[in-house]
Structure 1
Amino acid sequence: MMRRFAKSEHGTAMVEMAIVAPLLFALTLGFVDFGYALYQWNGATKAVQVGARLASISDPVVPATVLAAAAPISVPGAPVAADAYAPFVCKYTGSIGDCNGSSANFDANAFSRIFRGDTAVTNDDACPPPTGTQRPGMCHFFPDLLRTNVVITYAATGLGFQTRLSGPVPTITVNLQNRTFQFFFLGGLLGFGNINMPSMLSTVTGEDLKTSAPS
């Protein structure tokens, strides 16, 4: 009886399946999660590209008068040299927006136009869908994007000339901060920690730096 039991192979397939199934499911769900991470990467890349484009054709987040006052005016018509003024770094910390630490030099409406396009201006992270001819903003290309994730920098890189009527021509960089790739299955089942997302950025040359919202 014992000899027959020892030679029996009944249930072998079930045991093998019990061993292989967790590995198979983990591999499958891992593919899903990393595919979603790639989707997030693409979304973040597109968001900063759209943000930079909107920033280049819209009112600057740091008021134009402040930007103009920062540039030299001693030699009218002379080029505004690179690094002629300190870069203006505009971002949100919590619910407070500031440029170089000054909330007085921060235009919340201009930031909103970059963040959420032509949709309604609100003092939160809401991202209402655009309608009609409204242009989409950064948040429409990267789900769950927060205002605190967006940093907009205006820097002097040797463009424009002193006493230019519309002020100096800055180089604008839009980048993301404090974002992680979100993992659902791996994080929940295997305790896989979220991975910090690299600082996605896009740099463009400022244009007229004036609001060009559709009429």
Structure 2
Amino acid sequence: MKRWLASLARNTHASSAAEFALVLPLLLIFLLGIIDVGRLMWTWNRAEKATQMGVRYAIAADMVPNGLYSYSFVNGSTITQGDPIPESAFGGASCLINAGAVSCSCKTGATCPANLVGTSNSDQASALTAFNNIVNRMRLFMPEIGSANVTIDYDYSGLGYAGDPNGSDVSPLVKVSLKQLTFRPLLLMLFKGSIALPSFSAALTMEDGQGTVAN
């Protein structure tokens, strides 16, 4: 019995298999980690491209806050026909989807027209269509984007003249942002875990704000 145990202790035929079993989990983690880094960079790139294409579409298509597009800043006292629009008259607005409807509001500490979106049903439908057109363009590059992930800002740019007969009095800096995106690594799929991604945004100056052809 002792001789058999000694012989068994000196036997090395299974050492390679044992070493492989110890190293295999580390190799799998390393391999999946490399794949996850590539998937993360691909997701990151698609999100950036989606915001870039979204804002390129937004500056040439219909302005989401249609009330801002049709608003005249001529007030007969401090702002007259042809005057540049001051920041005190329009400081910036932000639009998002809230309960299936478009909600546009002045940014904190900023001023803007009271009715950024018209009050009629057709105005509301027009704003929703304009917003969804931008989102749909972004989905061409990242299909998992939802309307709730998108915010569209119209910021003061210093461009625009009161009483412009050819379109909007203001030419805001349009910024399209993506938020609340997540990435699920292969290593965390068994545990249904995910990683929150940062916000992505891109900005360009409004061109015409009424792109019936682009739509």
Bin the TM-score by the shorter chain: 0.7 to 0.9
* SS class of match (2:36): helix
Structure 2: tracts of 5 or more residues without a match: 107-115
- Report the TM-score, using the length of structure 1 for normalisation: 0.80
1:200 aligns with 2:200: yes
Distance 1:9 1:146 in 2: 59
Structure 1: tracts of 5 or more residues without a match: 117-136
* SS class of match (1:178): coil
Match of 2:161 in 1: 161
* SS class of match (1:138): helix
Match of 2:17 in 1: 14
Counterpart contact for 2:72–2:163, Cα < 8 Å: no
What number of residue pairs does the alignment pair up?
Answer: 192
Per the TM alignment, residue 97 of structure 1 is displaced from its structure 2 partner at its CA by: 2.3
Closer, same or farther in 2 for the Cα pair 1:16/1:115, shift >3 Å?
same
Counterpart contact for 1:94–1:148, Cα < 8 Å: no
Distance 1:61 1:47 in 2: 18
Closer, same or farther in 2 for the Cα pair 1:4/1:108, shift >3 Å?
same
Q: Alignment partner for residue 112 of structure 1, among 117, 129, 132?
A: 132
- Greater Rg by CA: 2
The more displaced of 21-30 and 98-107 is 98-107
Closer, same or farther in 2 for the Cα pair 1:204/1:176, shift >3 Å?
same
- Report the TM-score, using the length of structure 2 for normalisation: 0.80
Counterpart contact for 1:81–1:157, Cα < 8 Å: no
Question: What amino acid is the match of 1:186?
Answer: L
Match of 1:124 in 2: none
CA displacement 1:183-211 (0-9 Å, x = unmatched): 2x21124x484222121110100011112
Match of 2:92 in 1: 87
Match of 2:109 in 1: none
Q: Alignment partner for residue 178 of structure 1, among 180, 197, 209?
A: 180
Question: What amino acid is the match of 1:204?
Answer: L
Match of 2:105 in 1: 100
User: Identity of aligned pairs, percent?
Assistant: 29
* SS class of match (2:59): helix
